[in-house]
Structure 1
Amino acid sequence: MRHYTLPVAATLVASFISASAVAAPDSIRALGQPVGSGAIQNNLEQPFFENFAERTGVNTQIRYSPVDTSGVSDAEGLRVLRNNLFGIVSLRLSQISGDEPTLLGFDLVGQNPTYEIARQNVDAYLPVADARLQERFNSKLLGVWPAGPQVIFCEPEINGLDDLRGKRVRVYDNILGNFMSNLGAAPVPLSFPETQQGIARGVVDCGVTGPSSANAAGWPEVTSYVYPLPVQMAMNGYAINLNVWNQYSDEDQARLQAAFDELVDEIWAYSEELFEDASRCNTGGEPCENGRPYSLTSIEVNEQDLQTVNEAVEARSLPNFIELCDRTNPSCSADWKATVGANLGL
């Protein structure tokens, strides 16, 4: 029988304990985007999680549930993540911003007029948001991506922002609600799955979402007009509970991060393709490759409204964001100004 000296035996025991401490979990529950939100969830997100071990190179199986089939509200993403009811969550950042207003800094009205500028702003701000989620929600932010430019769908006829005065408009965060209030509209917070029926029943006159999501959820069936003025990008993100994250070795953590980086890059590119295609589908244009054809009337965007949105960051959105965010996170606006604000020259 071989006998180990004490130092060698101690080293072996320590190695065994260390290996046990970072044993990858066999299975994780993941909460996804709503099925009704469309092609990003169907064609990229769900297949990624269904083939998680193959995509990441780690031996973990995922039990994946879209949020609208799980019994969980999309506003509860951070809470279920912190409590490890789901180990990974596809966060809808505007919807969860009531729990963490810092996340609003990814997408103030007028902040992200193009995909290129939006990506620069996201990359700059992600470390700020990640640090905040780690501190308050025991969660690591793995990446952030856009659903795409958010535009205005209405059943009553409109010809520009001035025509929203007096109308009830579905919004999904406080920054957008404040912007609509300043236009004289009545902002109505509705979850995405409720909005199509809300328009059909006259609960709201108009709603803001992306063309692809609107197409998938049947908004053109209950609206007649679309005003393709982008006001936001509707950012989303992937986050993992830190207790789950810390079960992985350093090598597996690197593999996970690389896989999510790849998925996020795919979604950024796909989001832009979907936006252009769905914009054509919704208004009877060709080619219409990924959605259902509809015949909405598209209203030409006027220069005054473009200027209103471009000026909204400094004039409206940023003051509103500072008021909301600095209450709970004293360094919030300073962090935003040092990252996104610097990118925008503010």
Structure 2
Amino acid sequence: MRFRLLLAAFAAATLAATLAFPAAAQERIKFKAIGQPLATGLIQKNREQPFFEHFAEKTGLPIDVDYKPIDTLGVKDTEQLRVMKAGLFDIVSLRVSQNSRDEPTILGLDLVGASPDYATGRKVANAYFDTIDARLQQQFKVKLLGVWPFGPQILFCKKPIAKLADVKGMKVRVYDQNLAKFIELVGGTPVPVSFADTHQSLSLGVVDCAITGPSSANSAGWPEVTTHQLPIGFQMALNGYAISMKAWNSLKPDQQAKLKTAFEGLTDDIWKYSEELFQDALNCNAGKDPCTTGKKFKLVNVPVTAADGDLIRSAVTKVSLPVWAEVCDKSNPGCSQKWRSTVAPVLGLK
């Protein structure tokens, strides 16, 4: 009997508290967010996760975010746009190349040869932002909030090289078809190998060279089985942040403005941090100081020549744009023309 009275009293008190503070109960907003995989390293760990874990503080909004790295969710990184469209999550740290099969338009952000360095990558991202935003809203009811880079994907070789053209006759580990076509263009033999298998493939001579970011190469021990690194970016490994239109439209205009400003601040920070990590990893791989984020090795750091720059930029018109345009125009008529009118001018292409 006493327990029932206590329960009734508790229920009455709870109801009274709810009625007394309806605004407080309604002011807090809860969002669910998909993050980058834990395995992607320091950007996820030191920039992305802290931002989401302190979301209300970072944005100045009454929003609490349930943030989960995608490799802890049981969701494939190729399915991000689908689960967002289905309404299962509110915010996504979008992996661009992985989701380009579902929406080829977004790969126009990171064509092989278009962004060999950070400055160019930033120009491309800014020029193409509105095109991707409009397409994602139309097809997936998702709004783009920001674009950021993991950083240039560069060349590692176990044979001496002095320039990019020296890969002629060599077997090169690649991770997508556009990259394979470019390696063929410069006379190399592209070999598709998973990242996890690349160290062994280099060690056994299955491949002579391989492409990834310098920080990833360092953590995976590639400098143990290679001798040279050429720090020219084949791709910038660009990614983005996006929010479902349902979540976006649930916010008032002033809240939307605050959220947009916060994500612009986050992506600006990641652009700077990514470049710092890139340079630090290059130093570590070559055994130089400062080296604060990785293990020191003794790779030869091959200077990037003007001819290398010309060669990598030629990939856009000779390989990556034609291959991508054919696929993109099939699913999104006028896709490649839109790229030519927005991105091509900042690259000096006609």
CA distance in 2 between partners of 1:30 and 1:195 (Å)? 31
Does the alignment pair 1:137 with 2:140? Answer: yes
CA-atom RMSD in angstroms: 2.8
User: Counterpart of 2:290?
Assistant: 287
Query: In the alignment, does 2:71 pair up with 1:74?
Result: no
Change (3 A) 1:93 1:120: same
TM-score, normalised to structure 2's length? 0.82
Q: Percent identity?
A: 51
- Whichever residue aligns with residue 34 of structure 1, its letter is P
- 1:162/1:113 CA distance change after superposition, 3 Å: closer
Residue number in structure 2 paired with 1:319: 322
**Are positions 1:257 and 2:257 aligned together?**
no
Q: How does 1:1-346 map to 2 (within 5 A)?
A: 26-155=29-158, 158-165=161-168, 169-188=172-191, 206-346=209-349
Asked whether the 8 Å contact 1:97–1:173 carries over to 2, the reply is no
Please name the residue that 2:14 is paired with: none
Over residues 29-68 of structure 1, what are the superposed CA-to-partner deviations in whole Å (9 max), with x where a residue is unaligned? 2222222322211111111011111111222222222233
Q: Which runs of 5+ in 1 are unaligned?
A: 1-18
How far apart are residue 272 of structure 1 and its match?
1.4
Work out the CA distance in 1 between the residues paired with 2:98 and 2:206: 20
Structure 1 letter corresponding to 2:293: N
Per-residue Cα deviation, 1:237-296 (whole angstroms, up to 9, x for no partner): 011122222222222221111110100010111111111111101111111122222223
Unaligned stretches of 5+ in structure 2? 1-21
Q: Which has the larger radius of gyration?
A: 2
3-state SS of 2:331 partner: coil
Number of aligned residue pairs: give it.
326
Could you list the per-position Cα deviations for residues 288-328 of structure 1 after superposition, in whole angstroms to 9, with x for gaps in the alignment?
12222222333344554332112222222222221121111
TM-score normalised by L of structure 1: 0.83
Task: Determine helix, strand or coil for the equivalent of 1:326.
Answer: helix
The aligned counterpart of 1:4 is: none
